[in-house]
Amino acid sequence: MPTTDAVTYWNDLYLSRPAATTPQPNVRLTEIATHLPAGDALDLGCGNGGDALWLAGQGWRVTATDVSTVAVERLATLAGARGLADQVVAVQCDLSGSFPHGQFDLISAQYLHTTLDLDRAPILRSAAHALRPQGRLLVVDHGSIAPWSWNQDPGVRFPSPQEVAEDIGLDSATWTVERADASRRIATGPDGSTAEVTDHILIIHRTA
């Protein structure tokens, strides 16, 4: 387990890799967001920025956050180079202690996992409260171990989407679980190899 603080840990990790020039969006995000009308989106843990850039290309106005200053600076540079600076705002934010201001039509948390301690339930609860009426919170988690996963512990347990929803603890009069299931796909790892993986998909819809 890392002993440094989250900002230093993730900055060091990104600095150890070449900056991505053509980051790709997550498959589950593109599958789902393609069918939604564009509006204001919040990307929690934007990483290399593939999701934020794709959403902006679809007409969304995106606030992209990451704990790493290196990640957000790289994303801001990419957005500017692609003529998307007016649609992508990259913000450094440590979600363990704060949450971005604003209201959103889509909030995306794609594989918001970390080797550091992170209590996700209050973060996702804050996300649900930051939705506009009719907005959606999309949470996609790992449901299996890929050959390239950093955690190869065969005993690791992946909470189901239903369990994640229960941990968030939202009032059903205001929010409804629109989707909570596991879905398999063939994924490509960093080295180009492929494997079948399972994604846990949770969509929470703010109805009021």
Looking at this protein, which amino acid is placed at residue 41? Answer: A
Q: How many CB atoms lie within 10 A of CB 92?
A: 15
Q: Where are the domains of the chain?
A: 28-206
The answer to whether the CB of 47 falls within 8 A of the CB of 71 is yes
CA quadruple 39, 40, 44, 45: dihedral sign: positive
pLDDT score at 196: 97
28-206 placed in CATH 3.30.70.1060: no
User: Could you report the per-residue pLDDT of 43-80, keeping only the tens digit for each?
Assistant: 999 999 999 999 999 999 999 999 999 999 999 999 99
pLDDT score at 46: 98
Contacts of 116 (CB under 8 A, 6+ apart): 1, 2, 6, 9
- Two tokens at 99? 């949450």
- Indicate the pLDDT class of residue 3, thresholds 50, 70 and 90: very low
Lowest mean pLDDT among 3-17, 46-60, 85-99: 3-17
- Indicate the pLDDT class of residue 152, thresholds 50, 70 and 90: confident
The answer to whether the CB of 181 falls within 8 A of the CB of 159 is no
The phi, psi pair for 4, rounded to 5°, reads -85, 170
The answer to whether the CB of 65 falls within 8 A of the CB of 100 is yes
- Nearest Cα to 138, choosing from 151, 127, 152? 127
User: Could you report the per-residue pLDDT of 157-167, keeping only the tens digit for each?
Assistant: 899 999 999 99
- Two tokens at 48? 């290399």
